Structure 1
Amino acid sequence: MSYENEQLNEEKVFKDPVHRYVHVRDRIIWDLVGTPEFQRLRRVRQLGTSYLTFHGAEHSRFNHSLGVYEIVRRILDNFKDRPNWNKEQRILCLTAALLHDLGHGPFSHSFEKVFKLDHEDYTRAIILGDTNVNHILRRVDDDFPQKVADVINKTYEDKLVVSLISSQIDADRMDYLQRDAYFTGVSYGHFDMERILRVMRPMEDQVAVKESGMHAVEDYIMSRYQMYWQVYFHPVTRSAEVILTKILHRAKDLYESGYVFKFPPNHFVSFFEGNVDLQDYLKLDESVTLFYFQTWKEEEDRILSDLCERFINRHLFKYVEFNPNLQMSEWMELHKLFQKAGIDPDYYLVVDSSSDLPYDFYRPGEEGERLPIHLLLPNGELKELSRQSEIVEAISGKKRTDHKLYFPKDLIEGLSNRSKTKKRILEILYE
C-alpha cells in the first residue's frame, strides 16, 4: 500500500471539547501531527492577547488546526460518491486543512505587523523547506508539498479543494467560531454546524449549500458578525495588543540604537535586523516571548520596563471613542500635550482601528475578491445567498469600522492637579 493510502492499525482519537472527538486513521496525518513544526503550535495561542480579556481563551493553534482537519474529514465523508467530487483529492484536502496555520508566530497578527512578516509566507516555507513536515509530505510524491502549499495559498487549480479551507463558509471559520466561543465563554459563536455539513454539496469550483439549509447558514453568518465585535475586536484585547506592539517596537528601536540589554535578546536579533530565517522563526513562540517580557521589566530603559510590566501584570491602557479622520486637531494637540507632560506619545498615545465585512457578494476584479456563498435550489440552479436571504442581504457588503484612542490614564492622573497640561488632556479625552 502506498504511503498516501496507508492506514493506522487502530484509529487514533483526540478528545475535543468542540467536536467531541478528532479521528485519525491515515498514517500521514498521524505522522504530521507528531512533527516539531506542528507541535510548536501548542505554544501559540489561537486568540493572541484575548486571554487578558476572557480568561478561558488559552486554547492554541494546535487545537484549532486539529479542529479544521476534523471538519474537513467529516465533509469528505459526506462527499463520498457524489458527483463533482474527486476522491483522489482526499489526502490533499486533509493535509492542507491540518497544516493551514503552521506558520503563525507568537501573538500572530500583532507580531507580524511590527516585523512586517506574513504567517502565510512561513507556512509555505515550512511545507516546502528542509523540515520534518516536508520530508513526510514528500513520501507521497515529490510534488505533493507544492500542492499542499498551493491549496493553502489559494492558487491550486481545483478551486473546490481550496474552498473547503478558504471561502466565506469554510472549515477554518466553522472551527474557530465555535472553538473561540467555547473558550471565551460567550454564546455568540454557536450555530448548527452538523446541519450545514449535511447540506453541503460539491460543485465544479466551490462548495454549495442546499437551499433547505439556508437558515443554518444565516445563523453562521450572524454568529461570525457577533464574534468579531464582541470578542475579536474587544477594546480590552486591543489595548493589550497596542501595548504588545509598542513593547516590540521599543525593543527594536533600542537594539538599533546600540542599547546594551541586561539579558541579550538573542531570539529577537534576526527579527530586529530584518533577516529572519526559518529556523529562527520556529524557535520563537509565546513562552519564549513572555520570558523576554519578564526580563525586560528589569531593564534600565523606563519605557520598555513600564510597557512590559503593564503587559505581564495586565495594567492596560484606557480608551475612548476617537475618530482620527474627524478629530485630527485634537489628536495633534494631545500629541504636544503628552510631550509637554513627559509622556512619550509615540508609545503612550495610540489610535487603533478595527473593521470587518461580515459577508460580501461577488465583486469581480476587486482586490481580495470573495466568492459568495451559493444555495443549491431543488431544480439544480445556484443562487447567491443574499438574493435568497433577507437577513444576509441586510448586512451584505456593509463594512463596519471602529476607532479607539488608547492612553495610560494612571500616568495622566499622576500629573500635578495644578497642571494646566493635565487639565487640558482630560478635557480633550473626556469632553
Structure 2
Amino acid sequence: MANRLTKLDEEKVFKDPVHRYIHVKDGLIWELIGTAEFQRLRRIKQLGTTYLTFHGAEHSRFGHSLGVYEITRRIIDVFDDHPHWDPDERLLCLCSALLHDVGHGPFSHSFEKVFDTDHELFTRDIILGDTEINAVLKKVDPAFPKKVAEVIGKTYENKLVVSLISSQIDADRMDYLLRDAYFTGVSYGQFDLERIWRVMRPRDDQVVIKHSGMHAVEDYIMSRYQMYWQVYFHPVTRSAEVILSKILHRAKALYKAGYNFEHQPLPLLPLFNGKLSLEDFLRLDEAVFLFYFQIWQQEDDAILSDLCSRFVNRRLFKYIEFSPNTNFNLYSDLREAFKDADIDPEYYLSVDSSSDLPYDFYRPGEEEERLPIHLLMPGGGLRELSRESAVVEAISGKKRTDHKLYFPKDFITDLSINKAAKEKIRKLLKFEGGSGHA
C-alpha cells in the first residue's frame, strides 16, 4: 500500500497550450508516463487525417491523455471533503484518465473499420497484459490493473469514478474539445472549463453540476455540437479518410491475392492475416503506415500507387451531397458507369455517412444508454439538464446525419479515353447536384 502514497521529491510539470501546466506529484503517474506503451501515443495523431484539412491539427494522443489526467486531477481536488467522494479512489481515477486512450492504433477509426479491431480491447490488453504499464500498476496492488481496466471499460462498481472519465460531460470530452479547437484554430470549441469543474459535485453514482453553472454547461454542449460538424465531420477530412481506408483495403486484397510487393510490408502482415497480437499491435504507429504509403506510390499496382499518391500529396476525392436511401438507383447506375469507364467503383466511388447526437436524455433499454446530465438544485434535489435549459432542450435527442458521395473528379474530367462512359458519369452526378466540392 505504501506505493500508492509515494510522492515525487519534486513536482514534475508539463507545459501545455490548453491547461498551461500539467502537474504530476505521484510517482506512479510519472512512471506510467515513461512506459513504452504510453510514449507510443506521441506517434499517434489525436485527429487522424484532420491535419490535411486544418494544418495545425498535428497534436497527439499523448498530449490529450495528459490533458484528461490533468482535468481529472483538478476535479478531484474540488471533490475533496465531499461526503459522496471516497479519497481512496483518487489514484485509480488518475491512472484511468491517463490510460483511457492507450489502445488507439494509427489513424484510429479508419484502422479499426478496415481491420475489425477495437481500441477498447487493446487498451484492456495493454493494461492487463505483459507490458510495462501492467508492471507499474501492479506496484500498487496485484488487482489494481484490473480495476483500471474496469473503470475504462465502464464496468467498475463505483459509477461515480466511471462518470469522471466517461459520461456526457467528462474529462475526456472536455479536454479533446478544447485541445482540438486550439490546434485546428477554430473558435467553436471554447467554453469555460474552470467554471465547469468548480461547479461539479460528487453525488451517489454520478457527477452532477450545481445549477449556478448551467450556462457554462450549455456552452460546452453547443461547443461539442459545433466541433462535430465543423471539424470532426468536415467533408475534406472525410475524403482523406475514404482514401486512407481504400489504401488499406487495397493493400490487404493484394496481399491475399498473392501480389508480390516490391517492398514487403512486414509490420502489416499480422493485420492482413487477421492474427494481430498485442506485441504486433504495439509496433504499429502512424510513421510505419506513412512510410509504406510513401513507397507504395512506386508499386506496379496502379490502384494502390494512385491512392497512395493521392493521400501523400493531398489530391483528395471530390464530393456531393447524397442520400443513399433516396438515390439507391442512381448509386447503382454510377457504379455501372464507373465500370464502363474502367474506373473501379470499389476504390473510386464511396458513400460516407456521419451522425451525431449532441445531448440525450435517459432512454432505458437502448443499446447505448446515455445517462443525462443532472443539475444540483439550490434545495438539494436533482433536475435533468434539458428540463431547465431551453438551449439544451432544443437539441436533446435530435440525431443529425449527413451523407456524402466521394469520387475522383480528375478521372471523370479526362475525356481522352472512355469518353462516352465518363460523360454518362458526369450527367448522373450533375443530376444529383453538381460536379462536387473541393
Query: Equivalences for 1:206-225 in 2 at 5 Å?
Result: 206-225=206-225
- Contact conserved, 1:416 with 1:422, CA < 8 A, in 2? no
- Measure, in 2, the Cα distance between the counterparts of 1:360 and 1:418: 50
In the alignment, what sits opposite 1:48? 48
Query: Equivalences for 1:224-373 in 2 at 5 Å?
Result: 224-373=224-373
- Contact conserved, 2:38 with 2:102, CA < 8 A, in 1? yes
- Measure, in 2, the Cα distance between the counterparts of 1:157 and 1:109: 29
Moved more, 34-43 or 419-428: 419-428
Q: Alpha-carbon deviations, 1:27-49, whole Å to 9, x = none? A: 00000000000000000000000
- Contact conserved, 1:103 with 1:123, CA < 8 A, in 2? yes
1:200 Cα deviation after fit: 0.3
- Measure, in 2, the Cα distance between the counterparts of 1:261 and 1:419: 33
Query: Equivalences for 1:63-142 in 2 at 5 Å?
Result: 63-142=63-142
In the alignment, what sits opposite 1:34? 34
Letter in 2 for 1:48: G
1:430 Cα deviation after fit: 2.1
Q: Alpha-carbon deviations, 1:377-402, whole Å to 9, x = none? A: 01010000000000000000000000
- Measure, in 1, the Cα distance between the counterparts of 2:395 and 2:194: 24
Letter in 2 for 1:24: V
In the alignment, what sits opposite 2:396? 396
- Contact conserved, 1:4 with 1:140, CA < 8 A, in 2? yes
- Contact conserved, 1:39 with 1:62, CA < 8 A, in 2? yes
- Measure, in 2, the Cα distance between the counterparts of 1:19 and 1:216: 17
1:111 Cα deviation after fit: 0.4
Letter in 2 for 1:395: I
- Contact conserved, 2:208 with 2:375, CA < 8 A, in 1? yes
- Contact conserved, 1:151 with 1:161, CA < 8 A, in 2? yes
- Contact conserved, 1:6 with 1:26, CA < 8 A, in 2? yes
Q: Alpha-carbon deviations, 1:100-151, whole Å to 9, x = none? A: 0000000000100000000000000000000000000001001000000000
Q: Alpha-carbon deviations, 1:153-176, whole Å to 9, x = none? A: 000000000000100000000000
1:277 Cα deviation after fit: 0.1
Q: Alpha-carbon deviations, 1:322-346, whole Å to 9, x = none? A: 1111001110000000000000000
- Measure, in 2, the Cα distance between the counterparts of 1:430 and 1:390: 41
- Measure, in 2, the Cα distance between the counterparts of 1:150 and 1:322: 41
1:418 Cα deviation after fit: 8.4
1:420 lines up with 2:420 in the alignment: yes
Moved over 3 A (4+): none
Q: Alpha-carbon deviations, 1:182-232, whole Å to 9, x = none? A: 000000000001100110000111000000000000000000000000000
1:202 alignment partner, SS class = strand
1:414 Cα deviation after fit: 1.2
- Contact conserved, 1:105 with 1:284, CA < 8 A, in 2? yes
Letter in 2 for 1:153: G
Q: TM-score, with normalisation over the residues of structure 1? A: 0.99
- Measure, in 2, the Cα distance between the counterparts of 1:350 and 1:418: 21
Query: Equivalences for 1:175-214 in 2 at 5 Å?
Result: 175-214=175-214
- Measure, in 2, the Cα distance between the counterparts of 1:269 and 1:4: 41
- Measure, in 2, the Cα distance between the counterparts of 1:105 and 1:419: 42
- Measure, in 2, the Cα distance between the counterparts of 1:226 and 1:124: 32
- Measure, in 2, the Cα distance between the counterparts of 1:294 and 1:75: 44
Q: Alpha-carbon deviations, 1:39-66, whole Å to 9, x = none? A: 0000000000000000000000000000
- Contact conserved, 2:177 with 2:227, CA < 8 A, in 1? yes
1:154 alignment partner, SS class = coil
- Contact conserved, 2:11 with 2:25, CA < 8 A, in 1? yes
Q: TM-score, with normalisation over the residues of structure 2? A: 0.98
1:423 Cα deviation after fit: 1.8
In the alignment, what sits opposite 2:374? 374
Aligned-CA RMSD value? 0.8
Q: Alpha-carbon deviations, 1:244-297, whole Å to 9, x = none? A: 000000000000000010011101101001010001000000011100111111
1:417 Cα deviation after fit: 8.4
1:297 alignment partner, SS class = helix
- Contact conserved, 1:43 with 1:286, CA < 8 A, in 2? yes
Letter in 2 for 1:108: S
Letter in 1 for 2:420: K
1:416 Cα deviation after fit: 3.4
In the alignment, what sits opposite 2:159? 159
- Measure, in 1, the Cα distance between the counterparts of 2:155 and 2:52: 37
- Contact conserved, 2:341 with 2:418, CA < 8 A, in 1? no
Letter in 2 for 1:78: V
1:405 alignment partner, SS class = strand
- Measure, in 2, the Cα distance between the counterparts of 1:46 and 1:92: 24
Inter-CA distance 14–418: structure 2 relative to 1 (3 Å threshold): closer
In the alignment, what sits opposite 1:147? 147
Letter in 1 for 2:227: M
